[in-house]
Structure 1
Amino acid sequence: MQTTSKTSPFLERNLGNVLIITFLAIIYAPVLLFWYDGWLNKSINIEHEYFSHAIIGFPYAAYIIFRRNCGKWQKLGNTIHPLGGFLLALGLAFYITGTRELVSLSFPIVIAGIMVWLKGIPGLKLNWFPWLLIFLGTPNSVPYLITPYTLPLQKFIAWVAWVLLQLLGVSTRVDEIYLYVNDIPVEVAPYCAGLKMLFTSLYVTLLLLDWTGNLQNKRRVITLLTSAITIRVTANIIRSTLLPQWFLVDQKAQLRDERVPWVAVSIKIPMEALGSLKDMEPMAKSLGQEVQKTLEKQVFIVK
């Protein structure tokens, strides 16, 4: 009886808010399950993979909202703001369309609407960072929209890799974002992999800044975000430098009738280093040959 008397007044005062949150939890549970299944099992598309950092970002955002900021949230006044109603209506309108893009975008919009509806603008200011994590983790088409703007960076990576290969004595030529080894093009810094890792690096950097309490330190924020970008670009340069060398190793092996498919080089190298896996080397070569034959049929022109 004592528990009931304490709970009932709370429900009476917040019944509308509880119903709204419960309703939204029900309609977005299938969406979140769909997203997580796509991230964990890679069952949707490459576009969806860009936002796999939300696997850790969404739970962390929930932790901030419901644990860290819970006390501060309760101290805020219950001020209903018209903007909250507008955002809720807009988000639900997007959801009802059934279009994947709009349904996805409706999620952060509705979250912002709930915050503003329940606590006004101060509620959104309190939880701006977890909302940002939710927004940046919501799948959308932004990566494809910014693809044309990544070409200058890809060209820069290609030219730097070409210079390094020349210094290493590897005969190559560069054209746009491609390096050519014996007139066979090797793609440099594909935007799908490069952008995904860049997004993930920046996202994780934001998480670490908040976790260590440095999110308000502008100098450290700028330094770490810049470092994340630099590391990713450097990693792409190293990758673009090594790939043509591996390809050249395969061609030289073919001339000696010691074919070691370039797709198996990454398998073969650690096997030779470990030694105990030496018996698996023939299997790695066989697997590499099968994969390379398939790639040649689909990508390369076999003369």
Structure 2
Amino acid sequence: MKKNYFLAVLFAFGMSTANAQFVDDMESYAVGQPIYTGWWTDWGCGGTCSIIASADFAQSGSVSGNIPNNGDTDAVLDMGNKIFGSWGLKFSMYVPSGSHGYFNLQGTVPIGGGEWINGNWYFGQPIAGHPGAMEGYISDTSLGGVDFDFPYDQWFDVVINVNINSGIGAATWELGINGTVVVAEGAAFTDFAGTYPTSLGGIDFYSIDTGNNYYVDDVDYINGFHPIGGAGVNDLAAKGFSAYPNPVKNVLNLNAKEAISSVSIYNVLGQQVYNANVNALNTTIDTSSFASGAYFVKVNVGGTEGIVKILK
């Protein structure tokens, strides 16, 4: 039964990674420089208000993207103006204590005048008249305003799954933050007035004021849906576990703040392709013989088991 359950978990992860649109661990960008390439653009600034590569904090590797407290950064993650299909976005976010974060979903990219799909997303931003102001709040969903919790001073996942299989005019969605379902599957992908967007355009990561400061890492956009919570991913993050680079070429690095006791790697068919006892804080794995595709790294860190996905 345990083996069957594990294979079922791998299958769920496999379905979500088999049709990857892009995976970005932010490691290819020069620290201190704006990121204005590929799926990273901005709100009409021509690269002058883009997200900034930073070495301050990182979920994996040593680089993440920073939306600093300059009040100017207006970065956009281009999600391709989707009007049909199943689309899942997952990324990690870090908000230092004493700071807050903000972004919004846009209906078209390039953005032009702006088309807010479900209002403003606040992460600790003070909002006049709102009792949950110092936690998380989405201002204008089909359910009205939505509150959520998130942790400061640690990485947490944001998962946005959008179902457009019946067309953008009947789209639904699901939201998970820090492994918890915030908007349940099947909610209309609209604002409270019931207005559907032109398309699934992108995310506007905006430095809303001088108190704004947060980081984004490990962006994973797929033609499919991401599971919310995963299998021990958040628990592993709490133990300082990271696997990088991702995608990997030849050598995969595993690090943690507690001892990594064992590592197993499986392909999308659930076949084990690597197994080792480590008993160390870090290890390297030669993946040069692995075929291209998605793999699932099962690790035990300080008694906590979990699975992370990598691409080769």
Is the TM-score greater than 0.5?
no
Q: Structure 2 length as normaliser, TM-score?
A: 0.19
**Bigger fraction of residues in helix:** 1
Q: What is the TM-score with the length of structure 1 in the denominator?
A: 0.20
Greater relative contact order, per chain length (Cα 8 Å cut-off, separation 6+) = 2
